[in-house]
């Protein structure tokens, strides 16, 4: 791509463009992690539809599921899977409640009893809540892109968590999260596409 661009545009133009971008960046207030998190923190509730594709090393084909997500600041996050099976996962504060099976059976546990899961969930939740302190306690955080289209990359700091989760990528546009991808240490991968709920 770059070579193609070079062919079509002389070096001077490229340099000029570079200066322009730089100038524009300097003129506009800098868009930083704090700005993103600040904006996300203003969102009190959100609803969305998701489709998730999980690729597991155990299985020879990916697993697909879909349903709805409900968020209520700062600590309540609910995932209602509709397909292939109805299931409900609720994170409220420190408690995780899973409701599955037919007839539905509820089971609750505390995040503290599942430290790996805790790191994963804190990453998501702290992003949604705009809580930079918590986020940076668990992850090295890199932000790419701009307000319109951003990508937040979270790399676990704790070695014990790294044995489990390699990386989390959250992308979004403005205050909407549009995707979450989780790479596990064993090669398993989950990609979730999120679209604002049409209501």
Partner 1 sequence: MNDDSRAAPARLPIIGGWLIFLLVAVLSAWRAPFSTDLSAFLPRTPTAAQAVLVDQLRDGAVSRLILIGIHGGGPEALAAASRALATALAQDPRFTHVGNGEQIRLEADQRTVFAHRYALSPGVVAERFSTEGLRAALHESMDLLDSPAGFGVAGLVAADPTGETLRVGEALTPKRTPARVEGVWGSAAGDRVVLLAQTRAAGFDIDGQAAAIDAIRTAFEPLRGGTDLAVELTGPGVFAVDTRDTIRGDATRFSMLATGAIAILLLSLLRSPRLALLGLVPVATGAAAGLAAVALVFGEVHGITVGFGATLIGEAVDYGLYLLLRADGEGGPRRAFRMLWPTLRLGMLTSVFGYAALLLSDFPGLSQLGLFSIAGLVTALLTTRFVLPALLPTVVTLRGVEALARHAGRLVARARRLRIVPWLALAAGTGTLIVIGLRHDLPWNDELAALSPIPAADLRRDERLRDLLGAPDVRHVVVVRGASREAVLRGAESAAVVLDAATQSGALDHYDSPARLLPSERLQAERRAALPDEPTLRHRLAEAARGLPFRPNVFEPFIAAVQSARQASPLDTATWSGTTLALQLDSLLAPRDGGWQALLPLSGLHDADAVAHDIAALGDPDVLMLDIKAESDRLYAGYRREALGAAAWGVAAVLLLLIVVLRTPRRVLRVCVPLAAAVICTIAGLLLAGQALTLFHLIGLLLSVAVGSNYTLFFDRTLAADPAADRTALSLLAANGSTVLGFGLLGLSHVPVLSAIGTTVAVGAALSLLFAAALSRAR
**Count of residues that bind partner 1 according to CB under 8 A:** 34
Among 19, 20, 23, 59, binds partner 1 (CB under 8 A): 59
Pairing between strand 95-100 and 87-92? antiparallel
Q: Quick check: 33 binds partner 1 (CB under 8 A)?
A: no
Least CB distance from residue 188 to partner 1, whole Å? 6
CA-wise closest residue to 166 among 190, 150, 145, 147: 190
Q: How far apart are CA 152 and CA 132, in angstroms?
A: 12
Q: How far apart are CA 111 and CA 154, in angstroms?
A: 19
DSSP string covering 10-47: -HHHHHHHHHHHHHHHHHSPP--HHHHHHHHHT--EEE
Which residues face 53 on adjacent strands?
64, 191
Q: Quick check: 86 binds partner 1 (CB under 8 A)?
A: no
Q: Looking at residues 65 to 84 of the shown chain, list those that interact with partner 1 (rule: CB under 8 A).
A: 65, 79, 81, 84
Least CB distance from residue 117 to partner 1, whole Å? 6
Q: How far apart are CA 91 and CA 77, in angstroms?
A: 5
Among 41, 43, 73, 117, binds partner 1 (CB under 8 A): 117
Q: Quick check: 138 binds partner 1 (CB under 8 A)?
A: no
| Identity of the residue, 178 or 184, whose beta carbon is nearer to partner 1 in the bound complex | 184
Contact residues for partner 1, defined by CB under 8 A: 54, 56-61, 63, 65, 79, 81, 84-85, 87, 89, 93-94, 98, 100, 107, 109-110, 112-117, 120, 164, 184, 186, 188, 190
């Amino acid at each position: 791509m770059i070579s193609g661009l070079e062919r079509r545009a002389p070096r001077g133009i490229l340099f000029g463009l570079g200066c322009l971008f730089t100038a524009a960046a300097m003129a506009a207030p800098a868009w930083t992690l704090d700005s993103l998190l600040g904006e996300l923190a203003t969102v009190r509730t959100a609803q969305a539809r998701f489709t998730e594709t999980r690729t597991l090393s155990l299985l020879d084909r990916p697993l697909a599921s879909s349903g709805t997500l409900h968020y209520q600041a700062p600590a309540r996050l609910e995932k209602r899977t509709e397909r292939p099976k109805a299931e409900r996962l609720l994170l409220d504060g420190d408690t995780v409640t899973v409701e599955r099976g037919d007839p539905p059976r509820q089971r609750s546990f505390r995040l503290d009893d599942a430290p790996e899961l805790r790191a994963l969930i804190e990453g998501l939740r702290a992003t949604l809540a705009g809580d930079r302190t918590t986020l940076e306690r668990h992850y090295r955080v890199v932000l790419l892109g701009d307000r319109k289209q951003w990508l937040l990359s979270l790399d676990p700091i704790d070695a014990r968590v790294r044995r489990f989760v390699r990386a989390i990528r959250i992308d979004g546009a403005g205050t909407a999260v549009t995707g979450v991808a989780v790479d596990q240490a064993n090669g398993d991968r989950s990609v979730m596409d999120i679209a604002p709920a049409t209501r």
